[in-house]
């Protein structure tokens, strides 16, 4: 099993749609989890951390399922500006983040 797996997509959705991505990880000792957004030819930018209890930031909701070893990102009411690649990342304390290859989202009008 790969260290981290993401469905590369692309996910093509209309404006206003709800879309969800998952990211599975193989290292059960992983402690910190993040979602990053990367626009074309730009650097990744932190979207949100993922907490055990789940967390929400506006239209974005992140969940962690330790038993099944995956994190999820839910985007509600998609906007054109949400079009990007979404990367998941995780690590143990004191180690560097390991990133997935990303899921591409395309929101159309």
Q: Which residues bind other proteins (CB under 8 A)?
A: 31-32, 34, 36, 42-46, 49, 87, 89, 91, 93-102
61 or 91, CB closer to other proteins?
Answer: 91
Least Å distance between CB 96 and other proteins? 4
H helix or E strand, kind and range, residue 49: strand 45-50
Residue 16 carries which DSSP code? Answer: T
**Residue whose C-alpha is closest to residue 47's, from 72, 29, 68:** 72
Nearer to other proteins, 11 or 78 (CB): 11
**Residue nearer to other proteins on the CB measure, 61 or 100:** 100
For residue 91, count other CB atoms closer than 10 A to its CB: 18
């Amino acid at each position: 099993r790969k260290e981290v797996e993401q469905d590369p997509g692309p996910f093509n959705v209309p404006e206003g749609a709800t879309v969800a991505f998952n990211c599975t990880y193989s290292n059960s000792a992983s402690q910190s989890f993040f979602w990053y957004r990367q626009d074309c030819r730009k650097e990744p930018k932190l979207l949100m951390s993922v907490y055990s209890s789940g967390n929400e930031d506006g239209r974005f909701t992140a969940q962690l399922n330790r038993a099944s070893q995956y994190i999820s990102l839910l985007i509600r009411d998609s906007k054109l500006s949400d079009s990007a690649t979404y990367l998941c990342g995780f690590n143990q304390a004191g180690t560097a983040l390991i990133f997935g290859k990303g899921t591409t989202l395309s929101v159309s009008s």
